[in-house]
């Protein structure tokens, strides 16, 4: 499959010590009692599978309390929220929700920041992956979309001396790298274009509304220079219409026109917005292909992506456009499997043969 676009989810970095969003939730155990009771209460719902879903629910609750009408009524009547075996007054519950969200955001920066100690294991794998896909593409260029917050691709491209366009350019007057989406269309020589759909640990919004890419990944919030960190998580409404996300998702929506298909590594298809875009690409371009690589690729595709197919006829057609590789990323054998699949040299699995 020539002209491949690469899509990286959390599973693409898991082999190198970065947690998936589900793993992150398991690691989140160092909470004080008030925050832990709120978290435990949310996790009683089977619909909440990872930390990004927890953040989504916390945003809904905090936004509801910010509504003047609801806040006035909740303050007057003081409903009690279920936590564990008991209940908690609304005001105290919301205070703990705000504290829990703040703690989670701090932990995100701690657990996903770039780790130089694990870099030597990570680098050769990504070097081989990028070189393989770039060499297969006719123009020797590669677009990469990712939901990961880490700076793995930036670090690897720097070491490989690949020309990377990430939408930021240096402003000598402001002494920093600032968001300039027109860079994605400029005819300057490049090898990689990187689109970080959920933001990045090192993106900040200044109080003047400028988006800056920092060298460090430490968390900034409410400082004199910076207003907030730029992150987004699944089903968060509205942010996909603001910069930088409006530009990033515009390119993702147009992806079926830019390539013959996607190589998707370590993505679980639990983001409804991204799923809709993948499905729309498959619908409007019947030659568009998805190669999905993860230990649970088939399960994720069937239960999370194709469940939104419009009837059996469309589902059968979409299945023929998706190829699942049920394997763990990070080993040399995995890279051989990817390369042989892209070159059409690999035999189909029983599941794939049934679709043909």
- In contact, 301 and 322? CB cutoff 8 Å: yes
Quick check: 112 pLDDT over 80? no
- The candidate with the shortest Cα–Cα distance to 267, out of 2, 1, 3, 22, is 22
Q: 270: burial class by Cβ within 10 Å (0-12, 13-18, 19+)?
A: buried
Query: Residue 315 and residue 312: Cα distance in Å, rounded?
Result: 5
| CB-count exposure of residue 52 (10 Å: 0-12, 13-18, 19+) | buried
Token look-up 């297969």 returns 136
Query: Percent of the chain at pLDDT above 90?
Result: 37
CA distance 125 to 47: 34
Higher pLDDT, 330 or 77: 330
Residues of each domain in the chain carrying CATH 3.40.50.1220: 4-17+116-355
Q: Token match 């299945």: residue?
A: 319
Q: At what angle do helices 51-66 and 68-77 cross, to 10 degrees?
A: 90
pLDDT at 353 over 60: no
CB atoms within 10 A of CB 326: 15
Q: What is the pLDDT of residue 8?
A: 96
- Which token pair is 198? 């959920």
Any idea which fold 4-17+116-355 has? Rossmann fold (3.40.50)
219 CB neighbour count, 10 Å cutoff: 17
Q: What is the pLDDT of residue 101?
A: 86
The answer on pLDDT for 222 being more than 60 is no
Chain segment 235-248, per-residue pLDDT in tens: 455 556 788 889 99
Supply the pLDDT for residue 354: 46
Look at strands 86-89 and 168-171 and give their pairing: unpaired
pLDDT at 88 (0 to 100): 77
Mean pLDDT of all residues belonging to the chain: 82
pLDDT top residue among 270 and 346: 270
pLDDT digits (tens, 9 = 90+) for 152-193: 899 899 999 999 999 999 988 878 899 999 999 988 788 999
* Per-residue model confidence as pLDDT tens digits over 295-326: 999 999 999 999 999 999 999 999 999 999 99
Give the pLDDT confidence of 70-107 residue by residue, as tens digits. Answer: 777 776 666 666 665 567 788 888 888 888 888 887 78
pLDDT at 181: 93
């Amino acid at each position: 499959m020539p002209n491949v676009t690469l899509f990286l989810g959390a599973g693409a970095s898991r082999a190198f010590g970065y947690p998936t969003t589900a793993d992150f939730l398991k690691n989140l155990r160092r909470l004080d009692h008030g925050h832990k009771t709120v978290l435990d209460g949310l996790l009683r719902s089977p619909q909440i599978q990872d930390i990004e879903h927890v953040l989504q629910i916390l945003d809904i609750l905090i936004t509801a309390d910010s509504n003047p009408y609801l806040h006035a009524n909740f303050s007057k009547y003081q409903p009690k929220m279920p936590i564990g075996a008991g209940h908690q007054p609304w005001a105290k519950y919301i205070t703990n929700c705000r504290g829990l969200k703040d703690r989670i955001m701090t932990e995100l920066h701690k657990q996903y920041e770039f780790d130089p100690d694990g870099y030597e294991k990570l680098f050769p794998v990504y070097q081989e992956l990028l070189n393989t896909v770039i060499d297969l593409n006719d123009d020797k260029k590669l677009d990469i979309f990712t939901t990961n917050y880490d700076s793995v691709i930036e670090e690897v491209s720097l070491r490989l001396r690949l020309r990377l366009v990430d939408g930021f350019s240096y402003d000598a007057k402001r002494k920093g790298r600032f968001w300039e989406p027109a860079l994605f269309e400029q005819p300057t020589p490049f090898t990689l274009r990187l689109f970080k759909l959920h933001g990045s640990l090192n993106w900040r919004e200044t109080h003047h509304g400028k988006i800056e890419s920092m060298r460090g990944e430490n968390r900034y919030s409410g400082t004199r220079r910076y207003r907030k960190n730029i992150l987004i998580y699944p089903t968060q409404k509205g942010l996909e219409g603001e910069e930088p996300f409006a530009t990033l998702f515009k390119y993702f929506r147009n992806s079926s026109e830019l390539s013959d298909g996607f190589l998707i590594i370590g993505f679980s298809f639990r983001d409804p917005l991204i799923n809709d875009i993948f499905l729309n690409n498959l619908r409007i371009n019947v030659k568009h292909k998805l190669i999905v690589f993860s230990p649970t690729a088939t399960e994720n595709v069937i239960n999370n992506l194709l469940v939104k197919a419009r009837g059996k006829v469309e589902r059968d057609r979409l299945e023929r456009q998706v190829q699942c590789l049920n394997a763990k990323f990070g080993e040399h054998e995995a890279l051989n499997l990817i390369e042989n699949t892209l070159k059409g040299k690999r035999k189909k699995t029983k599941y794939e043969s049934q679709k043909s």
